[in-house]
Amino acid sequence: MALSLTCPICGLRNGYEFRFGGADKGPRPLEEGLTPAQWCAYAHLNTCVAGVQLEWWNHKDGCGTWFVARRDTRSNREVPKEDVQ
C-alpha cells in the first residue's frame, strides 16, 4: 500500500489511484512471422527484476495518462530519474 507515484500530469499521488500496466517491454513486435513462443514471450513473460524496473502505470483515478515509472521492486518505491543507472 505504501507506493506513491509521480504522474507526469498530476504530480505525486497515492498509489491506489494508479493501475499497473506491466514492465516496459518495448513496442509490440511485428505480427508477420511471429512464432507462438515469441508472441507468448512478449505477452506473458516478465523478467521480474529485483531492483529498479521501468513500468507502465495508468493514472486511472486522475488524468488517465499512461506513463513509465521507475520503481525499485525491492523497496516498492519510486526512484527518481537521475538515480537510474
Q: How far is the CB of 54 from another protein (least distance, A)?
A: 13
Tell me if 56 contacts another protein by CB under 8 A: yes
Q: Are 4 and 15 in contact (CB under 8 A)?
A: yes
**7-to-24, 48, 50, 76 alpha-carbon distances in Å:** 16, 23, 23, 16
Provide the residue count of the chain: 85
Residue among 1 and 48 whose Cβ is closer to another protein = 1
Tell me if 1 contacts another protein by CB under 8 A: yes
Binding string to another protein for residues 23 to 52, with x set by CB under 8 A, is what? ---xxxxxxx-x-x--x---xx--------
